[in-house]
Amino acid sequence: MSTPFATLPDDGTPLRVVVVGAGGMGRAWLRTVHESPLVELAGIVDLDLDAARAGAAAIGLPDLPVGTGTAQLASDFGAQAVINVTVPVAHHPVTTEALAAGLPVLGEKPVASTVVQGLSLAAASELTGQLFMVSQSRRYNRHLFEAKRLASALGTVGIMSAEFFKAPHFGGFRDAMDHPLLLDMAIHQFDMARFLLDEDPVSVFCEEYNPAWSWYRGDAGATAIFEMTGGERFVFTGSWCSPGQETSWNAAWRISGEHGTVLWDGDNEPLVDSIEVPLRADSDDPGQEIAGSLSDFVAALRNGSTPMGQVHQNIMSLAMVEAAMLSASTGTRISVDALLEESYSQAVLTERDPDVLEVLKSWTSVRGALAPAPR
C-alpha cells in the first residue's frame, strides 16, 4: 500500500533533528548525526538528563539543548524530525508522541515491542501524514545490494540460507532475555532475506535450543524454516554462544536457484556461479549501516520517495520474529497471516486513540495494508 507522507522543502539547509535516547546505540547515532552534512543536531532527549549531557559532551557539544520531552524539545529548538533510539518498550510511546506533534520519525529496530504496537504506529503514520521509517541498518550494505543483483541471474530461487554463529558476552539484559537470538538479532537476517528475495513470509517452523555451556538464560540458538510468498524457502540457523570460526554479524549466505548459486560471507564481495552474470550497476551503493539509513530518511523527506524500512513495509520483519518464537514455543508451523490477523484484532481492541482506531478499522486486510509501495 502506498502511503503518502508530508515532505519538507529541499532548500539546501540541513534537516534539524532531535535524538531520543542517549544509551550505547544512542551514542552511535549522535556521532553519525554530528558527522553528517545532511542533518543538524538540535538537541538530545532522555529521561536521564545526565546521560543526555554526557552524550552531548562526547561529540564536543556540551551546550547542546537536552530535555525529557520529545515534542517539547523539538518545538523549543526548531527540530523538523525525530530519531528514536530508545529501548524497544519505549518505541511506541515516543514515536506516537512525535507523529502526533507533526514530526517524521526515524526509529531504531524493531518497529515496536510487538506487531500489535507496530500496526498502531502504521495507522498513526497514516493519520498524521508523517513518515515513520524503521532503521534496518544492515540493509545499507553495498555487498548486500551486489548479492541481490547477482541473484537476479539465478532464475527461480529455490532456497536461501543464512548461517549466524557468534559468541558475544554482552552482559546485561540480553543475558536474561527469553529469546535472545531471535528477538534481538535474527530480525536483521529476517529483514535482509525479505530484501534479497523481494518476498514476504507465508509460514514458519522454528526450533530453539540452549547449549549446555550457554551463558544466556534464554535459548541462544535457533533454526527456522520460512516459506516465502514466491515459494522459496529461507532457512536461518544460528547461535549466540558458538566460539571459534565465527561468522560475520551479517551472517553467511547462500542463494540457490535454477541457473546457479550466490555465496556471500557477510563481509566481502559476494561470489556467483551462474550461466549469465548481469552487468554491474555502479549506482547500487546505499551507504553504510546507520549512515545509509539516515541518508535514505532525509532523501525521502526531501523528494517523497519511499525509503526502505517505511513502517508499513517493516512490520513484516517483526512478524517473522514473532511467528518464529510462537512456532518454537508451540512446536507447530505458524501461519504468518493468522498471526497478522490476531495482532490486528488485538490492535483494534487495545488502541486508545479514537482517530488511530478509525484508521485501523478502515483497513480491508492486514497484508494489503502492509503491501510494499514502489520505490
Q: DSSP string spanning 143-177?
A: HHHHHHHHHTTSSSEEEEEEEEE------THHHH-
* Percent of residues, the chain, with pLDDT higher than 70: 97
- What value does the mean pLDDT of the chain take? 94
Please check the confidence at residue 26 and state whether its pLDDT lies above 90. yes
DSSP letter string, 10-43: --SSPEEEEEE--SHHHHHHHHHHHH-TTEEEEE
Q: What is the pLDDT of residue 184?
A: 87
Task: Answer yes or no: is pLDDT of 50 > 60.
Answer: yes
**Above 60 in pLDDT, residue 69?**
yes
Element (H, E) at 191: helix 187-197
pLDDT of amino acid 283: 53
Burial zone of 141 (CB within 10 Å; 0-12 exposed, 13-18 middle, 19+ buried): buried
pLDDT confidence of residue 301:
97
What pLDDT, on the 0 to 100 scale, is given for residue 374? 45
Q: pLDDT-based confidence at 2, cuts 50/70/90?
A: low
- What average pLDDT does this structure show over 297-320? 96
Stretch 199-227: mean pLDDT = 97
- Banded pLDDT at 80 (limits 50, 70, 90): very high
Within 13 Å of residue 87, how many CA atoms lie on the same side as its CB? 6
Over 80: is that where the pLDDT of 278 sits?
A: no
Give the span between the Cα atoms of 90 and 162, in whole angstroms: 30
Q: Is 30 within 8 Å of 19 (Cβ atoms)?
A: yes
Check residues 317 and 175 and name the one with the higher pLDDT.
Answer: 317
Please check the confidence at residue 71 and state whether its pLDDT lies above 70.
yes
Say which amino acid occupies 59. Answer: I
pTM of the model: 0.94
Distance CA 61, CA 34 (A): 9
C-alpha cell recorded at residue 169: 558476552
H or E segment to which residue 369 belongs: helix 366-369
Give buried/exposed letters for 245-255 (b at 16+ CB in 10 A, else e): eebbebbbbeb
| pLDDT for residue 375 | 40
Q: Which of 104-118, 141-155, 278-292, 344-358 has the lowest mean pLDDT?
A: 278-292
Neighbours of 235 (CB within 10 A): 15
CA distances from 125 to 120, 128, 245, 251, 258 (A): 9, 5, 43, 32, 41
Q: In this predicted model, which residue has the larger pLDDT, 336 or 173?
A: 336
With cut-offs at 50, 70 and 90, classify the pLDDT of residue 155.
Answer: very high
Among 10-14, 102-106, 126-130, 223-227, the least confident range = 10-14
pLDDT at residue 372, rounded to an integer: 62
Residue 237, H or E segment: strand 233-239
| Residue bearing cell 525529557 | 68
What is the phi/psi pair of residue 224, to 5°?
-130, 135
The owner of cell 550505547 is 24
